[in-house]
Structure 1
Amino acid sequence: MNSVVRQLLEQNTDVVMVDTGDSYEGICGYFGGTYISYSKEKPISMNPFKVTREEYEQNFGEKKNFLKSLIFLIFKGNEAPSKIEDMLVNQTIVEYYEAYFNPFTSFSDTEREGLRQKLLVAAKMEDDYEKFATDMRDIEEQINSPEPETKTTVRALILPSEERRNKIIRQCRALRAMIVDRATTEAEKEKAASKIEVYKKELHETSMLMKIDKQIDHMEEQKRRLKVPSLSFNTYYEFALERIPQITSLEKIHFDIRDFAAILKQFYRGGELEVTLNSDLDTNLFDERFIVFEIDKIKDDPVLFPIVVLIIMDVFLQKMRIKKGRKALIIEEAWKAIASPTMAEYIKFLYKTVRKFHGIAGVVTQELNDVIDSPIVKEAIINNSDVKILLDQSKFKDRYSDIAAILGLTPIQKQQIFTVNALNNKEGRNYFKEVWICRGQNSDVYGVEEPPECYWAYTTERAEKEALKIYLRHYGTMQEAITNIEADRKRAGISKYLDFARKVNQQQKVMSLW
């Protein structure tokens, strides 16, 4: 993979890598890239909630889906959210950004009318027969009771529904007076009684609307109190904990807000992981051509590891949109942390989106079992990958039918794969390793030969890396260190890199100072 990365960089491709195991420390140093290693003392911190107005107006749908994935990754882990949970989190994210970019003052007439109709439908849904009968008896008593003395009232304070209700009651009383009037004919009495029944039903709905108008006033005040002074996980957490109970109360649905608050609390102010989602990333990183995020120290943390991988992916997406030219995101073994039902749609989105921006997304695995055992990988990664690169697969020969089916390999391609490093074709040639590369329907086996200087940059052998660091301290740059350690190895007549590295480590100085 180091060889692929080198070629991408030599072709002026911006590369972002997520690594576990210091595999790319050497090549990053050689190309003068930025190497960011996660530690408790210096954690990788970002603010995935921060967006500009331009991003909000143009790409909010993408950002919203990313933030939903992030929140559910914290809240639910690998478990898929329910439809109610998805609806609530989606609504809070939408309203959170709306409150920040367009602070609420009041409902417009159109919004009030829309809410009135929505709440009226909900009220009718809850209105059972016994409650309806009770309300109708109360209305009957109001009609039959004598009209109270009227007092002077400021008209502006009377709601339209209340004014309508008072008018209907007066009409009902007039009709009731007609019925008891001896001068009224039977036909007129019957027509008046029928009209009263119609008015009683209208009064029942008007009473509902009066309660609904007061409810809308209360909702308006609630929304006015919801302020978002800045964008971060902290302010989203505060917004969601206030807003979700309001929504569940209005919609009469169940959501365990206490569980939600307790699980997300570790990322909130004062929590153990507060800095992870609340500190702005160094914007200078967007100008770097080569960035390696080394997160080996948290690979066993079931909570933090997938979250850090996810927000690094978001950093890449931001970089991808901002910068011109080709960009590549390569995720080493860390991709397994996000291969879950919660993340499947986001991974698909990532693969499809990078193509629109002249980008590349790639994942690397040492074990094909990961491919076989994960339907998420097949659906979200393999089906969206145009290029596949495989090394020696001889140890998987017994179960390669399953692998071939998942990778969509033809019988000829299977035969090609099992010739990798298996032919007697080394005589008279420099050292090389073979690799099978497939692009679309075209595939073949290629020999990869790298110069010794590249080996020193790529090596993951600890002793060799330590020896290279001794040369780096002496010569100051990775290029000078690699050039001189290889020249000294040849000068010493030591054929094996590891043997020479052990001598350097034993002396703890460059060869010219032995």
Structure 2
Amino acid sequence: GTYISYSKEKPISMNPFKVTKEEYDLNFGEKKNFLKSLIFLIFKGNEFPSKIEDMLINQTIVEYYEAYFHPFTKFTEKEREGLRQKLLVASKMEEDYDKFSHSMEDIDAQIREAEMDKQAESRALMLPAEARRLKLLRQCRSLYALAQDEAASKGEKERALQIIENYKKELYNNSMLIKIDKQIDHIEEQKRRLKVRELSFNSYYEFALERIPQIVAQEKIQFNIRDFAAILKQFYRGGELEMTLNSDLDVNLFDEQFIVFEIDKIKDDPVLFPIVVLIIMDVFLQKMRIKKGRKALIIEEAWKAIASPTMAEYIKYLYKTVRKFHGIAGVVTQELNDVIDSPIVKEAIINNSDVKILLDQTKFKDRYEDIAAILGLTPIQRQQIFTINALNNREGRSYFKEVWICRGQNSDVYGVEEAPECYWAYTTERTEKEALKLYLAHYGTMQEAITRMEADRHQAGSPKYLEFARQVNEHQKVMSLW
């Protein structure tokens, strides 16, 4: 395996924006949702994005990858027609009654003109919309003449006026469509200028800052682009955290069976810590899809960094997706108060966890109601939990500790007994770790230190681990030198 530790000189950095054509074709929806979570984590922190913000960032991500994998040249006729109808509805929405009335009066004036523009009418080359406008004006004049003809019946006059009103509305729409076609040409040119030559946060940042103002102007919505640019700038070219989201991942990591990311050094950084946790999770998801066999992602205290409202959906997605690829996701906490205080934990983690493992809960016994409710424990399961390490069942047995394991509705308390050498390797007891350091300093390698330490404990009559460690610490030297 490999152990990766975060440092300023060598930060944990990746390029979460980089995807292959195959990933784009097969899993773009999942990747898009991950990138939205990442961007909003930087931009909004724990605050929920508004629906407008979500729509904007979603659209920029979709168009960003389209620009890379399918560079834009022009709208198809079907796309133009769809855009034409959309812009027409938007234009009508903006028109108030007075503007509409004024436009209709202008159309009346055009209809009542004495002479047609013969020169315009006879042009061989004419836009379809303009040709239709002239034809409608000519028909309206004929209908007006009928409506004013004394020889015409009342029914004929009423029908003529009704048709004129319909034609006037079409003329109104026609004049708007001419403007809209010019607007579509402008939008087409804007999209043509948007190029994405390589996938990274840098290129997305540049794309978004150019595209968002265009969308805002087109949709006539509000979005603070300056705040967005300023907050994300630290991850952009030349920024303090540029390398975090713009460096390609070491492909050798995909061949490692066991990877540990140690990020204690940034655990107090409210900006960087959750982002690094998130991109590590993305690395796991990429590896999970590529590699066969069983996979596991275990997040220790770092899960707190992403247990926010904005991340709830992503965590639920992670748990459900992992199962599809023969994997597991787990979180570890030493403070059950974290479970009680976070509704996100219950919704996104506990409800999606089929296996629960608890150590000794004695110190929480007087206030276990809330914990039991959140974990969904039955009265029998609670009784089981409070027997952990509480029974007089150790006489004549090797050292062990008990643990409660629940899988679905099946649960019980189990004794965990390990080889003494494993105990020395994994102990978190400070006194025992300090004693092991003395043996390591003397023998040079961890394996030799553990082997010698356990042999000495056995020679000393096999006292308890903690008792033997205290003796070593008292002498401040290995047992052979006492």
How does the TM-score come out when normalised to structure 1? 0.85
Structure 1 residue 423 displacement after superposition: 1.6
Q: CA deviation at 1:46?
A: 0.6
Question: 1:103 maps to which residue?
Answer: 71
Are the counterparts in 2 of residues 463 and 501 from structure 1 also a CA contact under 8 Å?
Answer: no
Mapping 1:73-84, distance limit 5 Å: 73-84=41-52
Q: Which of residues 253, 258, 262 is equivalent to 1:290?
A: 258
Q: Which residue of 2 aligns with 1:56?
A: 24
* Residue aligning to 2:116: 147
5+ residue gaps, structure 2, are none
Pair 1:463 & 2:429 matched: no
For residue 188 of structure 2, the aligned residue among 220, 232, 236 is 220
Q: How many Å separate the matches in 2 of 1:191 and 1:430?
A: 103
Change (3 A) 1:178 1:423: closer
Percent identity between matched residues is 78
Conserved? CA contact 2:436–2:449, under 8 Å: no
Q: Secondary structure at the match of 1:371?
A: helix
**Closer/same/farther in 2, CA of residues 279 and 464 from structure 1, 3 Å limit:** farther
Secondary structure of the corresponding residue to residue 368 of structure 2: helix
Is 1:207 the counterpart of 2:178 in the alignment?
no
The 1:344–1:467 alpha-carbon spacing in structure 2 relative to 1, beyond 3 Å, is farther
The CA deviation at 1:237 is 1.1
Q: Is the 8 A contact 1:434 1:445 kept in 2?
A: yes
1:261 maps to 2:229: yes
How far apart are residue 196 of structure 1 and its match?
3.4
Relative to structure 1, is the Cα distance of residues 214 and 500 closer, same or farther in structure 2, using a 3 angstrom cutoff? farther
Q: Report the RMSD for the aligned CA atoms in angstroms.
A: 2.7
Q: Distance in 2 between matches of 1:275 and 1:501?
A: 46
Out of 118, 122, 132, the residue aligned to residue 90 of structure 2 is: 122
Give the Cα separation in 1 of the matches to 2:326 and 2:11.
31
SS in 2 for 1:438: strand
Between 485-494 and 46-55, the greater mean CA deviation after superposition? 485-494
Paired residue for 1:377?
A: 345
Q: Distance in 1 between matches of 2:107 and 2:277?
A: 63
Match of 1:27 in 2: none
Deviations 1:172-229 (A, max 9, x none): 345556778x8x7344776655543332221101011111111111111111111111
Q: 2:151 aligns with which of 185, 189, 209?
A: 185
Query: Bigger relative contact order, structure 1 or 2, given CA contacts below 8 A and separation 6+?
Result: 1
Summarize the Cα distance change of 1:387–1:468 in structure 2 as closer, same or farther, 3 Å threshold. farther
CA distance in structure 2 between the aligned counterparts of 1:383 and 1:322, rounded to whole angstroms: 27
Post-superposition offset of 1:437: 1.0
Greater CA deviation, 145-154 or 318-327? Answer: 145-154
The equivalent position to 1:444 in structure 2, one of 405, 412, 430, is 412
**CA–CA separation in structure 2 for the residues paired with 1:97 and 1:466:** 53
Counterpart-to-counterpart distance in 1, 2:456 and 2:162: 109
Contact 1:471 1:485 in 2 (8 A): no
- Give a deviation string over 1:297-323, Cα, whole Å, max 9, x none: 010011111111111111111111110
Relative distance call for 1:393 and 1:512 in structure 2 (3 A) is closer
Task: Give the secondary structure class of the aligned counterpart of 2:404.
Answer: strand
Q: TM-score, normalised by structure 2?
A: 0.90
What is the CA–CA distance in structure 2 between the aligned matches of 1:512 and 1:424, rounded to whole Å? 35
Q: 1:273 aligns with which of 216, 241, 262?
A: 241
Query: In the aligned structure 1, how far is the partner of 2:183 from the partner of 2:449?
Result: 73
Query: For the Cα contact (< 8 Å) 1:456–1:464, is it kept in 2?
Result: no
Q: Deviations over 1:363-384 (max 9, x none)?
A: 0000111111111111111111
CA apart distance, 1:266:
1.1
1:400-439 counterparts in 2 under 5 A? 400-439=368-407
Return closer, same or farther for 1:56/1:512 CA change in 2, 3 Å cut-off: farther
Match of 1:20 in 2: none
Cα 1:359–1:191 change in 2 (3 A) is closer
Q: What residue number does 1:17 align with?
A: none
Structure 2 distance, partners of 1:70, 1:465, is 42
Q: Label 1:175 to 1:38 Cα distance change in 2 as closer, same or farther (>3 A).
A: same
Q: After superposing the two structures, state which structure 1 stretch, 478-487 or 238-247, moved more.
A: 478-487
Separation in 2, partners of 1:149, 1:293: 79
Q: Which amino acid aligns with 2:82?
A: G
**Can you give the 5+ residue segments of structure 1 that lack an aligned partner in the other structure?**
1-32
What's the counterpart of residue 67 of structure 1? 35
Structure 1 residue 389: deviation in Å?
A: 0.8
Which of 104, 113, 116 pairs up with 1:136? 104
Kindly report which structure 2 residues correspond to 1:338-377, keeping only aligned pairs within 5 A, or say none.
Answer: 338-377=306-345
SS in structure 2 at match of 1:150: helix
* Matched residues, number: 472
SS at match of 1:328: strand
User: In the alignment, what sits opposite 1:322?
Assistant: 290
Q: Which amino acid aligns with 2:419?
A: P
Residue identity matched to 1:37: S
AA of the residue aligned to 2:328? I
In 2, the alpha carbon distance for the partners of 1:318 and 1:338 equals 19
**Aligned AA for 1:249?**
A
Shift in alpha-carbon separation, 1:449–1:226, aligned structure 2, 3 A: same
Is 1:171 matched with 2:171? no
* Inter-partner Cα distance in structure 1 for 2:454 and 2:9: 35
